[in-house]
Amino acid sequence: MSWDEPAQHALGMVTYNYVTHGDPALYTYVDRALGTGFELPLYAMERWLHLEDPSDLYPARHLATHVYFLVAVLCGYMLAWRLFHDHFLACLAFVLIAFHPRLYAHSFFNTKDIPFLSAVLVALLICHIAFETNKSSWHFLLGAAFGYAASIRLFGIVPAAIVFGFLVLDIHQRRALRTIRQPVFNATLYAVGFASILYIAWPLLWNHPIVHLAESLRTLAHIQWTGQVLFDGVSYRGDELPWTYAPAWCLISIPELWLLAGGLGCAWIGVALARRPLKCLMQTPERHYALYMLCFLCPLVIASVTHGADIDDWRHLYFIFPSFVMLALLGMRKLLHGRTRRIAQALCVAQVAATGWFIIQYHPYEYVYFNHLVSHAQESLRQRYDLEYWGVSYKRGLEYILAHDDAGVIVVRATFETPVRNNIMLLPAAVRSRIAVVGEDAPADYFMTNFRMHPGEFDYPIYYEIKVLGSTILRVYKLH
């Protein structure tokens, strides 16, 4: 279980109570500015299935999150097929998104960033259909899709605004021909669909919507967390990270071949925009790639300037990855034509095999993935970056202790109590009482750490540890 899951569950519960019983606690809840577009139906599912015990409840949440992700990735396959009409590239799109090691791991326990990515990916497919058909009904659905994405994370207003900009360009183009009625109608329906679904899916907006929307935007623009973040070997406050934080994480945690192909795709569309900007932005096939480049770069630039989506690698920006994948497929298509086709196909197979083996080898800790742009020397990654920032591995550590220590009550302390207490809830009810968690410096049998905010060693005998790429992400010390 990840660090934030109980808080996300509580957000869904508070929102559900407001919707079903009018409980006003939502308007004073500490995390009220976070979107509930996914948490509310997730909590409703829990109530419908009568899930009470945490060991049943949270795995059900994980399954629902993962299934939604896979459905969205199928939409990514459909989008790539419509773009390229190439089965190899369409299948590659599915693989690039579904089996990115970090995304695959997060698709189980991350009910914030992965559902947001999934909603944006569905919206991009609808966007392609709406632009191709020019039908008003699809434009309304497009606005509704982006409205739902924004109800999960308000950062969804950025790609939504980019799409609206393209609709305004359509109006401008048609104005010279005196045929603006259809594009104006499309843009209006898009705006209505966006506003209506955002309002419906986010109950916080049901009372004083402008006030609460402005409050949420302020929260988005300025990170509130002031804990320590380890980045490239330097410890920073969470609200004082360098502008390079998010771009650097993208560079070191996307598989190398996809990174190269994405760079080629960005370069190609960048040159096309410089040479023929109007042709690329108006109703031509190139406009799709221009849209993807803007949906990839604009959030990245905004995050770098405002620090509104920093900390915890680039998980707040995972939603830009599908756009990057479409650009990478564009670059790969260039390589797949001509004499380089066989070489490019072989490289794709090799990259898929490498990332696939990484997932198999390290599951469920494949979220600690780094490409070879950074050193994988022993403990090098632990000394330079936050690895296990969500405490998912604590469950395996607790299970190991329980399996090898037959004491009636086992006393545990840790650098942070939250991930320990969270993962105790996932253990079978019969053994939870065997674990007693105590505070700092209290007598204990074991000490657990994920090295967050303390990447150095502890002077205790090592009892159990989990390593990924040569760096320890969890260690259990036996105190006596």
pLDDT tens digits, 446-465: 999 999 988 888 999 999 99
Q: What is the average pLDDT score of the chain? A: 93
pTM for the whole structure: 0.95
pLDDT tens digits, 89-130: 999 999 999 999 999 999 999 999 999 999 999 999 999 999
- What pLDDT band is residue 223 in, cutting at 50, 70 and 90? low
| Nearest-10 Cα torsion for 287, 292, 295, 300 | -130
Give the per-residue pLDDT at 308: 60
pLDDT tens digits, 376-388: 999 999 999 999 9
CA dist., res. 353 & res. 347, Å (int): 10
Angle between helices 113-133 and 321-336 (to 10 degrees): 60
Give the per-residue pLDDT at 371: 97
Whose CA is closest to 99, among 69, 63, 122, 135? 69
Which H helix or E strand runs over 384? helix 380-384
Give the per-residue pLDDT at 176: 66
239 φ/ψ angles, rounded to the nearest 5 degrees = -100, 10
Classify residue 178 as exposed, middle or buried by CB count within 10 Å of its CB (0-12, 13-18, 19+): exposed
- Which tokens in the block code for residue 69? 């992700």
- Tell me the three state secondary structure of residue 314: coil
Residues 6+ apart with CB under 8 A from 187: 139, 164, 167, 168, 170, 171
Residues 6+ apart with CB under 8 A from 440: 413
pLDDT tens digits, 147-198: 999 999 999 999 999 999 999 988 888 776 667 888 999 999 999 999 999 9
pLDDT tens digits, 341-372: 888 889 999 999 999 999 999 999 999 999 99
Classify residue 34 as exposed, middle or buried by CB count within 10 Å of its CB (0-12, 13-18, 19+): buried
| Nearest-10 Cα torsion for 182, 187, 188, 194 | 150
Q: What is the DSSP string of 38-89?
A: THHHHHHHHHHTT--SHHHHHHHHHHHHHHHHHHHHHHHHHHHHHHH--HHH
pLDDT tens digits, 259-298: 999 999 999 998 888 888 777 777 667 889 999 999 999 9
- pLDDT value at 338 more than 80: no
- Tell me the three state secondary structure of residue 366: coil
235 φ/ψ angles, rounded to the nearest 5 degrees = -95, 125
| DSSP-derived secondary structure letter, 385 | B
CA dist., res. 138 & res. 144, Å (int): 10
Classify residue 324 as exposed, middle or buried by CB count within 10 Å of its CB (0-12, 13-18, 19+): buried
Going 2 to 31 to 218 to 169, the CA torsion angle's sign is positive
- What pLDDT band is residue 309 in, cutting at 50, 70 and 90? low
- What pLDDT band is residue 337 in, cutting at 50, 70 and 90? confident
CA dist., res. 285 & res. 128, Å (int): 10
Q: What is the DSSP string of 155-190?
A: GGHHHHHHHHHHHHHHHHHHHTTT--HHHHHHHHHH
Tell how far CA 399 is from the center of its chain: 28
- pLDDT value at 423 more than 90: yes
Residues 6+ apart with CB under 8 A from 455: 230, 382, 383
Measure CA of the first residue to CA of the last residue in the chain; give whole Å.
28
The whole-number average pLDDT for the span 319-336 is 94
